[in-house]
């Protein structure tokens, strides 16, 4: 059975108090929309579409720059219209999940539980939480009556459906607008079910909701630090490449790729923090395709592995050890290139240099070495 997800992200999000719609704001360093996309991917959802405002195409592409396979569909003036447009893009799906982009706390386990419920015979199912607070019917600031909350639930998204059932319900709905998709299928006479929800699925509506979610989600993450070391011999050549910067020198560095010791050490540091082995396991020197390769390829690969693991690179530090060439004149350029490739602010990238006081092979200028550390914030 093919499983697809539609993320509804066509709203303006004005109440969240930002100059851009809330679904494109950053949450712990990543766009709000990207959190839900990642959760669906980690849960094994095969196709993901996002209903967006046509005016937000650039914001969408920027938020999901590392996920070009996620498609955008143009949403409508109402949520119901947006879902209707999205369903047309998921025409061959057997199970469809509809999710609000403003609920970034989605966890893969919940997605899998919803899918399992549909596979076990449910036609429409959603997560929900009981109402904990006392409820009152009011007129302005005056309470008119108390409301019994014992039979009330807070219904969340994603909501999962047998795809044929959902398409039929939308066909019957005509131009009527509904608050959510459970309401659409209920109007068509379909029995709906609820499973336990998740407090992390709270919806971002106001600025304070964003702050609360950051606290909730950061408590379930850990900090990992990885380290890496690399060294290369000097040989014939007229330049060296260090941290992505070409430096004129009377010799070159010998290596299967471009011998960028700084970035090689940094790749190993990132891989170490992820528990993903070393650079040689991912780019074997025995493989001819990497001969003379630009080490930017390796660094971007390590960054993508971090992204796919739900991790964020928060800081990197590279130390270059050599007598020559002098690193100082090129240090800021190295920082800038590294920050550019990793998508980090310059303040979170450190490049520095030292010597061995003429001791050992580095002191004799037989080669140079690099040491790096990378700090990652990742799921616990």
Answer whether residue 13 shows pLDDT above 60.
Answer: no
Backbone angles phi, psi at 364, to 5 degrees: -85, 5
Work out the pLDDT band at 118, boundaries 50, 70, 90.
very high
Residue range(s) occupied by CATH 3.30.1330.50 in the chain: 221-379
What is the model's pLDDT at position 376?
96
What is the model's pLDDT at position 211?
85
Answer whether residue 233 shows pLDDT above 60.
Answer: yes
What is the model's pLDDT at position 307?
82
Answer whether residue 30 shows pLDDT above 90.
Answer: no
Answer whether residue 15 shows pLDDT above 70.
Answer: no
**How many CB atoms lie under 10 A from the CB of residue 49?**
21
CATH level 3 topology of 3-218: Spore Coat Polysaccharide Biosynthesis Protein SpsA; Chain A (3.90.550)
- Residue position matching structure tokens 């616990």: 380
Distance of CA 263 to the CA centre of its chain: 23
Cβ contacts of 244 within 8 Å, gap of 6 or more: 260, 263, 295, 296, 299, 334, 337, 338, 341
Q: What is the mean pLDDT of the chain?
A: 92
Answer whether residue 16 shows pLDDT above 90.
Answer: no
- The CATH H-level (homologous superfamily) assignment of domain 221-379 is 2-C-methyl-D-erythritol 2,4-cyclodiphosphate synthase (3.30.1330.50)
Answer whether residue 14 shows pLDDT above 70.
Answer: no
Looking at residues 239-243, what average pLDDT do you find? 96
User: Rounded distance, CA 258 to CA 242, Å?
Assistant: 9
Work out the pLDDT band at 17, boundaries 50, 70, 90.
very low
Residue range(s) occupied by CATH 3.90.550.10 in the chain: 3-218
User: Rounded distance, CA 249 to CA 266, Å?
Assistant: 23
SS3 (DSSP) at 251: coil
Work out the pLDDT band at 205, boundaries 50, 70, 90.
confident
Looking at residues 247-270, what average pLDDT do you find? 95
Work out the pLDDT band at 328, boundaries 50, 70, 90.
very high
Looking at residues 137-165, what average pLDDT do you find? 94
What is the tens place of the pLDDT at every residue in 272-312? 999 999 999 999 888 888 888 899 999 999 999 998 787 88
Answer whether residue 351 shows pLDDT above 50.
Answer: yes
What pTM does this model have? 0.62
What is the model's pLDDT at position 212?
86
SS3 (DSSP) at 42: helix
């Amino acid at each position: 059975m093919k499983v697809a997800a539609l993320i509804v992200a066509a709203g303006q999000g004005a109440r969240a108090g930002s100059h851009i719609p809330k679904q494109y704001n950053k949450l712990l360093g990543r766009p709000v929309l990207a959190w839900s996309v990642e959760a669906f991917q980690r849960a094994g959802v095969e196709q993901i579409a996002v209903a967006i405002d046509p005016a937000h195409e650039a914001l969408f592409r920027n938020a999901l720059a590392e996920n070009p396979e996620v498609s955008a569909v143009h949403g409508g003036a109402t949520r119901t219209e947006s879902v209707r447009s999205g369903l047309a893009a998921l025409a061959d799906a057997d199970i469809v999940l509809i999710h609000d982009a403003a609920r970034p706390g989605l966890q893969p386990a919940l997605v899998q539980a919803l899918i399992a419920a549909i596979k076990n015979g449910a036609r429409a199912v959603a997560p929900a939480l009981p109402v904990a607070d006392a409820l009152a019917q009011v007129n302005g600031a005056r309470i008119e009556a108390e409301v019994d909350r014992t039979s009330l639930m807070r219904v969340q998204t994603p909501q999962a459906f047998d795809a044929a059932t959902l398409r039929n319900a939308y066909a019957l709905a005509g131009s009527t607008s509904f608050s959510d998709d459970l309401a659409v299928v209920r109007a068509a006479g379909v029995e709906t079910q609820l499973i336990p929800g998740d407090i992390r699925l709270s919806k971002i509506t106001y600025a304070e909701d964003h702050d609360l979610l950051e606290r909730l989600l950061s408590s379930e993450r850990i900090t990992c630090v990885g380290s890496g070391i690399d060294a290369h011999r000097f040989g014939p050549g007229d330049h060296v490449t260090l941290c992505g910067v070409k430096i004129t020198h009377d010799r070159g560095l010998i290596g299967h790729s471009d011998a960028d010791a700084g970035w090689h050490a940094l790749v190993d540091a990132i891989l170490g923090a992820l528990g993903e082995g070393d650079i040689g396991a991912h780019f074997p020197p025995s493989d001819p395709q990497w001969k003379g390769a630009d080490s930017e390829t390796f660094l971007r690969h390590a960054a993508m592995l971090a992204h796919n693991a739900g991790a964020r690179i928060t800081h990197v530090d590279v130390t270059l050890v050599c007598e020559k060439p002098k690193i100082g004149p090129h240090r800021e350029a190295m920082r800038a290139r590294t920050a550019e490739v990793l998508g980090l602010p310059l303040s979170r990238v450190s490049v520095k240099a030292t010597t061995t006081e003429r001791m050992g092979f580095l002191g004799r200028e037989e080669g140079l070495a690099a040491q790096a550390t990378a700090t990652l914030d990742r799921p616990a």
